[in-house]
Amino acid sequence: MGRSAALVVAVLVFAAWGCDASPAPTTAPLNAKAIGDGFVLETSIPKGVWSPGEVIPVATTFTWTGADQKKTVWTFGSGPVTFDLKQLDGRRFSMGSAHTADCAPKTFTRGIPTPIPFQKSGAWDGSDPDAPFYQQFFTDPLLRLPAGRYELRVGVVGQLAECSRNARSLDLDLPPIVLEVR
């Protein structure tokens, strides 16, 4: 590599260090897709900028596209798709993807997208000053957020054989989706 090419690479590397890694919110529709092991996970949200308290529809599908007519995934009872939500500013609200310890088979038919409703999961200490907010947030099945910047992560957790420690994992993760509420 010549000196000028090495200099360009060095400048690009140093420029990347100074950049914020999270994508900027947009008013255009947000779509994310992950493909692996014959499955497709897709999520779409109509826009990236919302008003406080506005319902944010999260449309997610999980589709088997492999060679077999049907495919079974062993996963927790409400799985296999998980939703994580983290506030990037302000109070630093975080909703992790908690799930049950059971292992249930879920069968998917080739080419038929299975709609996955947005699900909330979380816990908090009743003495937390934000406990009333958490109570209201987790009681409402719809996604409504106060002002702030949020990162939504959608993923799949499952196994491609009956549950055991040696079963092959199915792990799909969409790129983070940034939402701004203002």
Q: What is the pTM of this model?
A: 0.81
- pLDDT, one tens digit per residue, over 23-51 is 555 568 999 999 999 999 999 999 999 99
- Helix (H, G, I), strand (E, B), or coil: what is residue 149? strand
Q: Which residues pair with 71 in a beta bridge?
A: 108
- pLDDT, one tens digit per residue, over 170-179 is 989 999 999 9
Q: Domains in the chain, please, with CATH?
A: 25-181 (2.60.40.1470)
Cα–Cα distance, 22 to 129 (Å, whole number) = 29
Cα–Cα distance, 59 to 64 (Å, whole number) = 17
- Helix (H, G, I), strand (E, B), or coil: what is residue 56? coil
Single out the residue of 35, 78, 33, 36 nearest to residue 169, CA to CA.
36
